Chains A and B, each alone.
Chain A
Amino acid sequence: MANPATGAATVAPATDRTALDTPPPELLGALKRYLLALADDEMLLGHRDAEWTGLGPILEEDIAFSSMAQDELGHAKIWYGLRHELGEPSPDRQAFLRDAPDWLNARLLELDRGDYAASLVRQYLFDLAELLRLEALTGSAWKPLADAALKLRQEEKYHLLHGQAYLERLAKGADEARDLLQAALDRLWPYALAIWEPVEGEADLVAAGIVPASAALAPVWRAAVVTRFERAGLTVPLSHDAVTGGRRGEHGPELVTLLAAMQGLYRSDPEADW
């Protein structure tokens, strides 16, 4: 069992840094990439979650996934917004006018929603990672990033409350439910590990106290995942083989299909006023 306190020490932000109002110019490229990875993860998960609207297995879950979709899209807008302030196009243009090779999401988030078990497992694996990352980012030396992380972190507790409740209820229920959850976990695991693939230039941002090292967060997350899934009676794969590439713009066919569906309307008239 990993000691969360030990994990905390490894990801605690440097305390001897000075707060930055503007990021150093030489770090701008890396910072924009890091923010893009955050934004793209949220945008795609929001889109996939929204696919359950009207189709949820029960009304409560229809509502839950629709609400989580709204939350994730809200988070994406904030991250794209920070990039906009750094000189990038508007959040809408970032989300709807980029082709697959320009997306820096982890591939976990682009995968088809699959069955309900797969969506539940993906959401929970990602939420645990997001909470850890946000927690660490609240100590960022770049104030706008710290402010945003503090804001978004508050909202995560409802996602975790939901994920944990359903994971435990279903995994401890009928064998079929347990088997579906285990199958989803086995399939998604290599993709989930790649949440922690760093973007190019992350090390420079870490050295400047702007972001936490992904490599330091990964084992804390893994320990949390093991604790929680095993409590529900599921087995977390031992593998460390991650399906990386997403943070470098390498994606599967699922992203191309997703973008066609998500961006089609906007691209038909990018200047339209909604």
Chain B
Amino acid sequence: MTEAAVTAPAGLRLTPATVLEALDAVKDPEIPVVSVVELGIVQSVTVDGDDVTVAITPTFSGCPALHVMREEIEACVLALGARQVTVDIVLDPPWTSDRIAPAARERMKAIGLAPPPPAARRAFAIDLELLPRADAPSEAPPACPFCNAMETELENAFGPTICRALYYCHACQQPFEQFKAL
């Protein structure tokens, strides 16, 4: 998080911390129980007097919710008293689902969405035999968000949004969605 000199007049004290706190009210429109801060897409907040710059990073690069979150972040910080708000989209470092806050993971489960398992990491090497095989998933299947059973199976690598996969629980015989590991 970038610290910046705060030269705002008395009575209006914008700091990166107050901005971040306020941004906790901005939710992911596709997962309304998780804020943009908990999702881990807020890369930095810079305050320069009354001007605020927020750098965010996409989860999946094609995510259509990104521009919605961008507009809501801008509106949120303006409502906080900022004169000018800039929301930059940056790619470094790339987002990973490991950034999702623990409390947010619990809330995902409560709405029937399995949180992502730790993302598989590969060393930088072009080794095609290490590519994921259909019959040998790189990650263990998630626990069922309804009954916590581990007898779950991938039904489809794609779901209702690009960040979700579809699973089936053999224990409680319910289909469920998983937030993909990235």
For the complex, what is the distance from the CA of A72 to the CA of B158, rounded to whole Å? 14
Closest 7 CB pairs of A and B: A74-B62, A165-B134, A74-B61, A67-B158, A70-B62, A151-B94, A8-B126
B62 touches A11 (CB 8 A): no
B62 touches A73 (CB 8 A): yes
B131 touches A70 (CB 8 A): no
Say whether, besides A4-B127, A162-B157, A164-B134, A147 and B94 are in contact (CB < 8 Å): yes
Besides A77-B62, A151-B94, 14 other CB < 8 A contacts? A60-B158, A63-B159, A66-B158, A71-B61, A128-B128, A139-B124, A143-B92, A147-B94, A154-B119, A155-B60, A155-B62, A160-B131, A223-B128, A224-B128
A64 within 8 A of B: yes
For the complex, what is the distance from the CA of A162 to the CA of B154, rounded to whole Å? 11
A71 touches B128 (CB 8 A): no
User: Does more than half of chain B's interface fall in helix, strand or loop, or is it mixed?
Assistant: loop
Say whether, besides A60-B156, A131-B131, A154 and B182 are in contact (CB < 8 Å): yes
B61 touches A4 (CB 8 A): no
> Which chain A residue has the least Cβ–Cβ distance from B126?
A8
A71 touches B157 (CB 8 A): no
For the complex, what is the distance from the CA of A65 to the CA of B128, rounded to whole Å? 23
Say whether, besides A60-B155, A63-B158, A64-B158, A74 and B63 are in contact (CB < 8 Å): yes
A71 touches B60 (CB 8 A): yes
What's the tally of chain B residues with a CB closer than 8 Å to chain A?
Answer: 36
A68 touches B127 (CB 8 A): no
A214 within 8 A of B: no
Interface size class of A (residues with CB under 8 A): 35 or more
Q: Which chain B residues lie closer than 8 Å to A135 at the CB level?
A: 124, 126
> Which chain B residue has the least Cβ–Cβ distance from A157?
B132
A/B interface sample: 5 pairs, CB < 8 A: A63-B159, A67-B161, A135-B126, A150-B91, A223-B128
A155 touches B126 (CB 8 A): no
B182 touches A8 (CB 8 A): no
Q: Which chain B residues lie closer than 8 Å to A4 at the CB level?
A: 126-129
A155 touches B182 (CB 8 A): yes
Say whether, besides A147-B91, A155-B60, A155-B182, A8 and B158 are in contact (CB < 8 Å): no
Q: Which chain A residues lie closer than 8 Å to B129 at the CB level?
A: 4
B131 touches which one: A11, A157, A168 (CB < 8 A)? A157
B79 within 8 A of A: no
> Which chain B residue has the least Cβ–Cβ distance from A224?
B128
Q: Which chain B residues lie closer than 8 Å to A138 at the CB level?
A: 124
A78 touches B61 (CB 8 A): yes
Say whether, besides A4-B128, A157-B132, A151 and B157 are in contact (CB < 8 Å): no
Say whether, besides A68-B158, A151-B94, A161 and B134 are in contact (CB < 8 Å): yes
Q: Which chain A residues lie closer than 8 Å to B61 at the CB level?
A: 71, 74-75, 77-78, 151-152, 155
Q: Which chain A residues lie closer than 8 Å to B124 at the CB level?
A: 135, 138-139
